[in-house]
Structure 1
Amino acid sequence: MTKADVASPHLELAPGSRVGIIAGGGSLPVEVAESLVRQGNSPFIVLVDGEVDREADFAAYEQATLALEDIGLLLPLLKRRGISHLVLAGEIRRRPQLARIRPTFGLLAIIPSVIVALARGDDGLLKVLTRGLEKRGITVVGAHQIVPDLAAAEGTLTAAGPRQSDWRDIEAGRAAAKAIGALDIGQAAVAIGGRAIALEGIEGTKGLLERTRELRGHGRLAGKTRGVLVKCAKPGQELRADLPSIGPQTVEAAHAAGLAGIAVEAGRSLILEGPTTLSRANALGLFIIGLPVAESADGR
């Protein structure tokens, strides 16, 4: 395991730094913005058109709205606003349509890379975007560097902990999550009875847990009363964007699916709305555990 594979520590912003947030769905961009304000740094918000579900929470901030296909306008916008650091935060449910991307002079230079990245999947596109911005003077940082409390700590985080039988599910789920992560398919798996029974696809963790609930409801999981949701970063993932995350809704959905708990990688996963998430898990009797980051055979 290298230093680059572990979530970076809290970022100390130099005087005069200005942070922009590319805001997608969910609570993550809201939590990042609120943390920056507490640190005395009011952020500039770039709302991704059609993806933000908490626009009212950004009403007090300077902001602009940008469609995914207008990605070529992002750099000039950030430069005009004096942005030195950028956070990519929140869920983006769709990928840009290449045929509708508005070409700009700066974007033309990286169009071949964008085409290749779109073919490789979401993480490839994030890497191209991150490297392209950094080459042009914008430092891309992870949400966990702005709000270090978001990163899952190692160990059992709830009143309940995993039973001995749950560890078989945790290991099976982790192996499955890493396997689909290597193919850039998803970041999560559900394991019951010591084997993976459902894998995350394009529908996300919510859809994964809904499928698990339906399987249990249809009797396909009869006699298996426990199970675990495991979420892991993809092998070689760009850790400054799209880290695996869980929140109160994940806990509710895991409980509805009849699972005993949730396991995430410590330092490489985010727990959104932390106090609420842990409180709800305790109320429902679920465990949440932060797993140590294992060293893989290739040293990553």
Structure 2
Amino acid sequence: MASAAETAEGRLAIIAGGGLLPSYVAEAARLAGEDPVIVILKDESDRRWDGFDHAMIGIGDFASLDRLFKKYGIGRVVMSGSVRRRPEWREVRPTLRILTGVPAAIRTLLSGGDDTVLQMVIKLIEGRGLRVVGAHEIAPDLLTTAGPLGAVSPNKEDYRDIERAGEAAEVLGGLDIGQGAVSIGGRVVAVEGVEGTDGMLERVAVLRAAGRISLRRRGVLVKLCKPQQDIRADLPAIGVSTILNAKAAGLAGVAIEAGRSLVLDRDALIKAADENGLFVCGIDKGLPGWGLQ
């Protein structure tokens, strides 16, 4: 039986990139009585979608996406999961509306920053009368809560690193570059670029092993929403791999923005953090001391 939202606004489409998030959103939608359609991004999604109506399209194939929306009577769209690469010119298949009504769209999709691209995609989807909703609206249990999530809490030195890495992440996000930064001993040693959070943490581990950064001080990863970010797409997220990579990088813990970031596989993540002696906490950048002191 269709949910009230599905009856009133049409079916829900989940555009599925890589990682666990699309699966969590799909299951949450089903629990709410929805029958979501999964739009699998070719060469990005790594999940199996047996049991769901689904179809695969290439990155930038807006013509096929438009046909899918019409075929399944889609009224609402969620964009979820990671996208590792931008489409090449030859992969972009625009609709007539994009070619005639939004001539700058293709240039933006190929060369804009992540947030700029996502805002353009939202604009294109909503331009045909659909409503874009956030993953957190479908799966609100994924939202980060304020304060420590597990048994370990940050200490005084960690607070300083949280503030310093948070300041860097705020500036980085304002430039539409990334969402995360690492501070060790009050010094920002890494910021997130196109390699993503796990890639940045791997870089910190290499620098640590090479003696380029302190072996004595531990440090903190902070992830924040970009100041200008549309929270319906690409909220900061952490999972078990984040914890394991933070451990490998020698960090003391991970801090993410409360209410505007996602925790995937929460129980397993907390277990991994506790077992490895790392803290995980939600922070509020609007409060003194980020709401932790």
Deviation, 1:99, is 4.2
Residues of 2 paired with 1:104 and 1:241: CA distance? 22
Counterpart residue type for residue 87 of structure 1: V
Could you tell me which of 24, 27, 44 is aligned with 1:34? 27
Could you tell me which of 182, 193, 202 is aligned with 2:185? 193
Deviation, 1:269, is 0.7
How many pairs are equivalent?
A: 283
Which deviations, in whole Å up to 9, do the C-alpha atoms of 1:14-41 show, x marking residues without a partner?
A: 5354110000000000011111111121
Moved over 6 A (4+): none
Higher relative contact order (CA 8 A, sep 6+): 1
Show the 5 A alignment for 1:137-176.
Answer: 137-176=129-168
3-state SS, counterpart of residue 170 of structure 2: helix
Counterpart residue type for residue 95 of structure 1: R
Q: Does 1:48 align with 2:37?
A: no
Deviation, 1:292, is 1.2
- Matched with 2:52 is 61
| 5+ long unaligned stretches in structure 2 | 288-293
Q: Does 1:24 align with 2:17?
A: yes
- Matched with 1:230 is 222
- Matched with 1:77 is 68
Deviation, 1:192, is 0.3
Show the 5 A alignment for 1:84-95.
Answer: 84-95=75-86
Deviation, 1:215, is 1.1
- Greater Cα shift, 42-51 or 70-79: 70-79
- Greater Cα shift, 245-254 or 62-71: 62-71
Residues of 2 paired with 1:119 and 1:25: CA distance? 21
Residues of 2 paired with 1:208 and 1:200: CA distance? 6
Counterpart residue type for residue 68 of structure 2: L
Q: Does 1:98 align with 2:89?
A: yes
Counterpart residue type for residue 150 of structure 1: L
Residues of 2 paired with 1:35 and 1:169: CA distance? 35
Which deviations, in whole Å up to 9, do the C-alpha atoms of 1:27-73 show, x marking residues without a partner?
A: 0000111111111212100000000111x2x1111111000131233
Counterpart residue type for residue 156 of structure 2: Q
Counterpart residue type for residue 20 of structure 1: A
Counterpart residue type for residue 201 of structure 2: L
- Matched with 2:264 is 272
RMSD value, Cα: 1.7
Counterpart residue type for residue 101 of structure 1: V
Deviation, 1:12, is 7.7
Q: TM-score, normalised by structure 2?
A: 0.92
- Residues 185, 219 of structure 2: 8 Å contact kept: yes
Show the 5 A alignment for 1:255-270.
Answer: 255-270=247-262
3-state SS, counterpart of residue 222 of structure 2: strand
3-state SS, counterpart of residue 211 of structure 1: helix
Counterpart residue type for residue 74 of structure 1: L
Q: TM-score, normalised by structure 1?
A: 0.90
Counterpart residue type for residue 95 of structure 2: T
- Residues 19, 87 of structure 1: 8 Å contact kept: yes
| 5+ long unaligned stretches in structure 1 | 1-10, 296-300
